[in-house]
Amino acid sequence: MAEHPYTFPLDDFQTRAINAIGREENVLVTAKTGSGKTLVGEYQIWHSLKKGKRVFYTTPIKSLSNQKFHDLKQMYPSVGIMTGDIKFAPQSDIVVLTTEILRNLLYKQGSSTESLGITASLSLDDVDAIVVKCGKSASFSYLLPFDLCCSPQPSTTLNPFRNGLLNSKVFQ
């Protein structure tokens, strides 16, 4: 069983997801709202920071990014945020950002515009994981609300289904 910081009993899907993350596997968690999916994402943050790595935590809309930034600031000293109108501490150990900002960053990697715009100071260096929080308003969320914890895979294309980002263990 993977080491974790929780002192209360975990649900079976949480335990299996945490163990998979401990084995450095990509994890996709699907479950009903309020069932504890966020705990798996927060474990990924704890796990990555313990290894001295960085984490991007994405949300579909600015209000969720603002809330998660506030929550994570209560838990960790080095948290930044990037949305369409806020850019604060983008080199932090944890960066909370909207999925739009992450998409822009990924599309600009290696391009002539990489050093321009809001994502110019945001680097994927030392990023161990990207935690994607999707909700009812996010694209693809009409399938199922989910949290995705994954290690970025270097590649020349950006299709996560082809690049192994979603070659993941799925827990429900």
- Paired with 127 in beta bridges are 54
Q: What is the pLDDT of residues 65-98, one digit of tens each?
A: 999 999 999 999 999 999 988 899 988 999 999 8
Which domains are present in the chain? 12-171 (3.40.50.300)
- The token pair that represents 101 in the structure block: 């900002």
- Contacts (Cβ under 8 Å, ≥6 apart) of 160: 150, 166
CA distance 165 to 11: 25
Q: Who wins on pLDDT, 27 or 43?
A: 43
- For the entire predicted model, the pTM comes to 0.74
CA distance 16 to 22: 10
Q: What is the pLDDT of residues 112-154, one digit of tens each?
A: 656 656 555 566 666 777 777 765 543 332 223 344 555 444 3
